[in-house]
Chains A and B, each alone.
Chain A
Amino acid sequence: MKGMTSIVRDVTRLVAGVVMVYGVYVSCTGHLTPGGGFAGGVIIMAGVVMLVLAFGGERANELLAESRCHVLDGSGALAFALVALLGFFAGGFFVNFLPRGRVHQLVSGGMILPANLAISLKVAAGLIGIFLALVLATRQPSSQE
């Protein structure tokens, strides 16, 4: 798909970075304010969607191919599974094994922060993959040979 006019492209170049940083912020403070992994991942994806709309699908595919999205997606999920399995060292499945810290601090709540980051990676990569697949879908023959 084609991109948009140069005004849109310049503004998007400025704004998309801010949006993605905001997404990372929302997912990092999931244990303090509303938000968390899923919401942060969706906001990151919204930043990338803005870039795709402004610059066109082919350019986006050069920078972030769909197969790379699959790998990041799986890695996010495996990171989350790792957090869950590491709980076995503390006695059970999914046990919170990191120190809890004090309430209202950024580094508190044990493993909630790493779990949120893993979820936001997975959600962002998965949704970007879905978006790229739908945007770049061309008339394909069926997958049966």
Chain B
Amino acid sequence: MKELVPVLVGLPLGAAFLVAILAHVRGGARLTGALATLAVAANLALGIGLWAAAAGQDQPGAKSAVWTVWAGRWDGQTELDQATGQQRTRPIGIQLVWDGLSRFMVIVVSFVAFAVIVFSGAYMRRFTTVWLFHTLFLLMTGAMIGVVLAGDLFNLYVFIEVAAMASYGLVAFGTEREELEAAFKYLVLGVVASSFILVGIAILYSLTGQLNMARVAAALGELGTSPAVLLAAGCLLGGLALKAAMVPFHSWLPDAHPSAPAPISAMLSGLLIKTVGVYAIARLVFGVLGVHAVYANVLIALGVSSMVVGMLLALGQWDLKRLLAYSSISQAGYMILALGVAASLLPHNRALAGLCAFGALFHLFNHAAFKSLLFLCSGSIEQATGTRQLREMGGLVRRMPVTGWCCRIGALSIAGVPPFNGFFSKIIIIVALALAGRVVLCGIAAAVAVGTLLMYVKVQRYALDGQPGPRVAAARESHWAMGAGMAILAAVCLLAGVALSVGPLKEHLLGPAGEALLGGAKLASGVAMGGGQ
């Protein structure tokens, strides 16, 4: 059963190339959308199945099941060397890790990807060469799942690169002037980030001689925070912070995300920054580099600056998609801040660190849901009315009820209004910060939450309520497929708040994720060194 874990990556990648072949076969070009939707749905089903199988092996308390899969069976086991008759270990292999955190992330990625591809079935009809979109979309989804499953540093880097390259192509998809320019800027900054990540990996390899994350963590445990390790960590964290669009490395996001077509913006903002950025930073700091105070403070600084700057820049925006993009920076800041505080608390107060990590991961899930929902709504609005400017909209709730109500649900969720999901994750983070004694951070987080509320009240007032503008009066409701995609995410926003805070989903989905994050290297190293499972 655990050998099926690599299929989670292989299925979207194989389907991507199948789409490429199918599109050039006679009559196949119309089927690519169906094939892509089928592939993503199958991946989601497989992910849920494997999650259920692993969750069945969870023990109550902090011990969640960890499966490790070695590609090609090149595992770290000791074996008898035929020539010399001695025991030796084969330490070089690609390890895929299926622990609580990767289970959680795979579910998030597959689910949002499914909603987006359902939406895009109708939205992408305005483009020619739609098969290219499906190929790149499947490549990006497969690569993001690969990032989440990766158990060694270089595999992580390769999948980050594949996802990034697919996203460069997708941002430029419409080949309008804006999109090309935004894609070029995004590409250049992405290449700088990737190069620094690779430099960091090179330095870590030269220091420890290992690439497997668990073994590097063990080797770094002895090295501590020598200047070389700090240099490597600086390069890695700098590159990943650029990918996650943290302030001061955020300048590519406000151009790239609004210019892309709406389903792509949803995938980029809701998923790509989270997996390639926030997840990779979390995995590295907790699992590889170790929770030293230096890294925790860096994360806290990045988180606070992103939260504040993102919110301030978003408040003045009148372009809906640009506002959503800046607000993504701000919400990602919440997650990094909570992770940083968890890292600083981990040595002394594990329970409180667990609460911070729980809040961060919960917010990651929620943000994927409501930000993708908001971007899909903006796409639907743009297709119906032809504008992205808030001042030209108005009264959308009456003219386009499905889109309008989904947009309202998304806006209320991100603003943190109960009973939607944003409220729960934000209150957990703020309470955890207060309990940790970080009163200043708690105050800043609460202030940013109020600012977010203001910005989305503005969105609702200008876009959803009020008198219909001339463009809105001529608008009609969107295709049912677009409505279905939005409705799926809106339902998640409505239900996930309660469903993930208490009950079986917390026990088996979110709880093990937090535990796996905090367990970090220790949890996986036991499996990497001695026993495979």
Contacts and interface: CB of A to CB of B under 8 A. Distances in A.
Q: Touching in the complex, A and B, CB below 8 A?
A: yes
B17 interface: yes
A15 interface: no
Given A95-B73, A145-B128, A75 B21 contact: yes
A88 B3 contact: yes
A8 interface: no
A93 B7 contact: yes
B20 A94 contact: no
A78 B481 CA distance: 30
A142 B261 CA distance: 14
B72 A70 contact: no
Given A84-B10, A144-B127, A145-B126, A93 B17 contact: no
A75 to B, nearest CB: 6
Given A67-B24, A78-B21, A88-B3, A144 B10 contact: no
Interface of A, secondary structure class, is: helix
A102 B528 CA distance: 31
Interface residues of A, number: 24
Contact of B21 (A71, A87, A144): A71
Given A74-B17, A77-B17, 11 more contacts: A70-B24, A75-B21, A81-B10, A81-B14, A93-B10, A93-B71, A94-B71, A95-B72, A143-B174, A144-B127, A145-B128
Contacts of A93: 3, 6-7, 10, 69, 71-72
A143 B129 contact: yes
A17 interface: no
A74 B20 contact: yes
A84 B14 CA distance: 11
A32 B115 CA distance: 48
A144 B126 contact: yes
Interface in A93-107: 93-96
Interface of A: 67-68, 70-71, 73-75, 77-78, 81, 84-85, 87-88, 91-96, 142-145
B83 to A, nearest CB: 13
A143 B128 contact: yes
Contact of A87 (B20, B25, B72, B129): B72
A92 B126 CA distance: 43
A71 B28 CA distance: 12
A75 B18 CA distance: 8
Interface in B58-79: 69-73
Please provide the 9 A-B residue pairs with the shortest distance between their CB atoms, ordered closest to farther. Answer: A74-B21, A74-B20, A93-B6, A74-B17, A77-B17, A94-B72, A142-B175, A67-B24, A81-B14
Contacts of A88: 3
A141 to B, nearest CB: 9
Contacts, number: 70
B23 interface: yes
Contacts of B72: 87, 92-96
Contacts of A144: 126-127, 174-176
B13 to A, nearest CB: 7
Interface in B18-38: 18, 20-21, 23-25
26 contacts: A67-B24, A70-B21, A70-B23, A71-B24, A71-B25, A73-B20, A74-B17, A74-B18, A74-B20, A77-B14, A78-B17, A78-B21, A81-B10, A81-B13, A92-B73, A93-B7, A93-B10, A93-B72, A94-B6, A95-B73, A96-B72, A142-B175, A143-B128, A143-B173, A144-B127, A145-B128
Nearest to B125: A145
A66 B73 CA distance: 39
Contacts of B23: 70
B21, B72, B128 pick with most chain A CB within 10 angstroms: B72
Contacts of B129: 143
A71 B18 CA distance: 9
Nearest to B174: A144
A74 B129 CA distance: 16
B14, B69, B127 pick with most chain A CB within 10 angstroms: B14
A67, A68, A92, A95 pick with most chain B CB within 10 angstroms: A92
Given A85-B10, A92-B72, A143 B175 contact: yes
B125 to A, nearest CB: 9
Contacts of B69: 92-93
A66 B350 CA distance: 58
B126 A142 contact: no
Contacts of B24: 67-68, 70-71
Contacts of A84: 10
